[in-house]
């Protein structure tokens, strides 16, 4: 029996276990960098399997496990994120979140179970593994800080030649997976604009510099950056999500604060976008007699799949789930901190379909009604395992991998 047939058999063997893991972790969600309990439970499951691991000591959350194959070779990594969101769950299910105001509303509970399932499968298939597989259970994806935290931990990242991960995705049909090459998710940055005017009585505007008016003009003027500064062939988003100005109906505000986000797919856009925003912001404020400053922070890079790794991933999906399971989807302006792993190493990020209206798996990520089609998780475990085995096998004689 070949390794693909063995993987398929193990998927059936561990199907219920993978579902049970997902339901356990769903009940005990923890926020970014607070996942100590989640990490301990993952460690306990790895202990049962006999797989060695180390917990990241910086915050005692997140861990890296390692599976050494029976044959020498290179190293590859598989990653799952493990944090939840500050969302109050509205679903009435027996495994509903037991933590008030906390929910796995993005599907990271499913990611944990997928990677644990892959761990069990790969541990049973060490005889066909050429090299080393690192299993990376990463905290704090939702803040964009977790991948950097894990890269700093140990030397696993330096050793690997490729990394694979994925996200269960509501815009893809259950039973299908998108792993095409190229741009998949956008860079996501955040910014804060502080506007300074001069406060005064609403009846005497001539004695003031109205920060609310300045802030409003800045909001409007920033929109021209996307529509006129960048090519219409580029995907750029500039959103003001929050504006605070003033304290009372008859006082002209002297201060205003704006907060927002930008999204784009080419790394070189970032500096141009930031510098252009800063010029528009300062010039607009000056035109009204005030001042303003911009704080601009990088959150995540664009997520770009390597063509060779994408080809291996597509083949893995076809082997485990059938050729019809390989699908395509438009790139999304959502952000993902898996991008930092891909900045220095080739790899692939998969979109794993969970959309199924028959079980109400239709709600968007971060919704308090978010739910998934759990039946896809065991097959996803198989895809992760197949990718690792195939990448190592294809690169076992490549000294540059």
Taking CA 10 as the corner, what is the angle to CA 317 and CA 361, rounded to the nearest 5 degrees? 55
- What average pLDDT does range 92-117 have in this prediction? 97
Sheet holding 255-264, edge to edge: 237-245, 255-264, 187-196, 291-300
Binding residues: 106, 108, 142, 167, 366
Q: Look at residue 400 and tell me whether its pLDDT is greater than 90.
A: no
- What average pLDDT does range 76-92 have in this prediction? 97
pTM for this structure? 0.94
Tokens linked to 390: 């195939």
pLDDT in tens, 52-68: 999 999 999 999 999 99
**Pick from 31, 37, 55: nearest CA to 136:** 55
Domain ranges within the chain, ordered by starting residue: 3-185+302-394, 187-300
Selected catalytic residue, list 30, 81, 83, 89: 83
Q: How far apart are CA 44 and CA 30, in angstroms?
A: 17
* SS3 category, 318: helix
Task: Tell me, yes or no, if 141 is annotated catalytic.
Answer: yes
pLDDT in tens, 115-163: 999 999 999 999 999 999 999 999 999 999 999 999 999 999 999 999 9
Per-residue b or e along 43-57, where b marks 16 or more CB atoms closer than 10 Å to that residue's CB: bebbeebebebebbe
pLDDT in tens, 161-207: 999 999 999 999 999 999 999 999 999 999 999 999 999 999 999 99
pLDDT in tens, 22-48: 999 999 999 999 999 999 999 999 999
Considering the chain, what percentage of its residues have pLDDT values greater than 90? 98
Tell me, what's the pLDDT at 128? Answer: 97
Q: What are the φ/ψ torsions at residue 3 (nearest 5 degrees)?
A: -65, -30
- What average pLDDT does range 349-356 have in this prediction? 98
Tell me, what's the pLDDT at 397? Answer: 72
CATH class of 187-300: alpha beta
Q: How far apart are CA 400 and CA 395, in angstroms?
A: 9
Tell me, what's the pLDDT at 399? Answer: 52
Binding residues for Mn(2+): 106, 108, 142, 167, 366
Q: What are the φ/ψ torsions at residue 292 (nearest 5 degrees)?
A: -155, 150
Q: Look at residue 211 and tell me whether its pLDDT is greater than 80.
A: yes
Q: How far apart are CA 35 and CA 20, in angstroms?
A: 19
Tell me, what's the pLDDT at 299? Answer: 95
Per the CATH hierarchy, to which homologous superfamily does domain 3-185+302-394 belong? Zn peptidases (3.40.630.10)
Selected catalytic residue, list 3, 45, 89, 141: 141
């Amino acid at each position: 029996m070949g390794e693909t047939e063995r993987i398929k058999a193990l998927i059936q063997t561990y199907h219920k276990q993978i579902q049970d893991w997902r339901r356990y972790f769903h009940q005990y969600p923890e926020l970014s960098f607070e996942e100590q309990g989640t990490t301990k439970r993952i460690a306990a499951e790895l202990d049962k399997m006999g797989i060695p691991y180390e917990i990241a000591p910086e915050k005692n959350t997140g861990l890296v496990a390692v599976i050494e194959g029976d044959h020498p070779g290179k190293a590859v990594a598989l990653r799952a994120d493990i944090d939840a969101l500050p969302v109050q769950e509205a679903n009435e299910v027996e495994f509903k979140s037991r933590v008030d105001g906390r929910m796995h509303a993005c599907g990271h509970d499913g990611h944990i179970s997928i990677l644990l399932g892959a761990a069990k499968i790969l541990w049973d298939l060490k005889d066909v593994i050429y090299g080393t597989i690192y299993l990376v259970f990463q905290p704090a994806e939702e803040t964009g800080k977790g991948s950097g935290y894990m890269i700093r931990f140990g030397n696993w990242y330096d050793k690997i030649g490729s990394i694979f991960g994925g996200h269960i995705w509501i815009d893809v049909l259950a039973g299908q997976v998108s792993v095409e090459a190229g741009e998949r998710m956008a860079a996501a940055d955040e910014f804060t604009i502080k506007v300074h005017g001069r406060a005064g009585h609403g009846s005497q505007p001539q004695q003031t510099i109205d920060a609310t008016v300045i802030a409003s003009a800045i909001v409007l003027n920033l929109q021209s950056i996307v529509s006129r500064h960048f090519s219409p062939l580029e995907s750029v988003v500039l959103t003001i999500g929050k504006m605070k100005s003033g304290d009372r109906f008859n006082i002209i505000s002297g201060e205003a604060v704006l907060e927002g986000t930008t999204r784009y797919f080419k790394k070189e856009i970032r500096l141009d976008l930031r510098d252009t925003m800063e010029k528009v912001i300062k010039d607009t404020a000056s035109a009204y007699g005030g001042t303003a400053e911009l704080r601009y922070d990088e959150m995540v890079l664009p997520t770009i799949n390597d063509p060779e790794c994408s080809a291996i991933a597509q083949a893995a999906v076809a082997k485990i789930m059938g050729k019809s399971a390989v699908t395509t989807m438009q790139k999304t302006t959502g952000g993902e901190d898996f991008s930092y792993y891909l900045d220095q190493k080739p790899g692939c990020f998969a979109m794993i379909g969970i959309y199924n209206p028959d079980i109400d798996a239709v709600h968007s990520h971060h919704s308090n009604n978010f739910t998934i089609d759990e039946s896809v998780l065991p097959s996803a475990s198989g895809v992760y395992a197949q990718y690792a085995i195939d990448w190592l096998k294809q690169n076992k004689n490549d000294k540059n991998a």
